Amino acid sequence: MGAVPLNAAPSNPAPLSPAPLTAPIGEVVASRLRDIPDFPVPGVTFKDFTPLLSDGPALRAVVQDISRRYAGRVDVVVGIEARGFILGSAVAYELGIGFVPVRKAGKLPGLTHSAEYDLEYGSAAIEVHADAFAGRARALVMDDVLATGGTAEATCALIEQAGASVEAVEVVLELYFLNGRSKLAGRTVHAMLSL
């Protein structure tokens, strides 16, 4: 076994970045979703996008698609717990701006604003830090799915209560038949895929 010089190129170098995907973004998303029946409660079919997250080129395509749409238009990305944290953080990083989490009640330390809302299978409450938007007026709200719209509506209300404005709501998937957009009337809403 011989020594390898420090500046020697590896025999099978890995590409620094995956090749870009050429399919329309809606097709990329659709091909990487899976249905989980009876989750989180019987009768609900959960749309799982973890296969999208585990596919590097697909994840990059989604993050870049969102980032191109909002570059220069937003000052901060707001991610809704928990899956909104994943894409929201990546988009904030890509845009070079800050990220603000909206969390389930009782998870944030310090002074918070709180809002209750209805889900398609129950109700819940979310919170944001009261000082989260100091100096950052325009917010992009990120989540994985727009269903009944309750979570997104409550998040928009929290952002405005904390002194910022909502530039847009961005989701990977919209369950169109649940009419969640009706709770976001007058707001810009974009979904990569509607079912």
Q: Catalytic residues, which ones?
A: 83, 120
**Which residue in 84, 95, 72, 70 sits closest to 154, CA to CA?**
84
Can the peptide bond before residue 20 be classed as cis, meaning omega within 30 degrees of 0? no
The neighbouring-strand residues paired with 190 are 170
Judge whether 97 and 76 are in contact, CB under 8 Å.
yes
**Which residue in 113, 195, 190, 191 sits closest to 154, CA to CA?**
113
Question: How far is the C-alpha of 150 from the C-alpha of 154, rounded, in Å?
Answer: 6
Which 3 state secondary structure label does DSSP give 182? helix
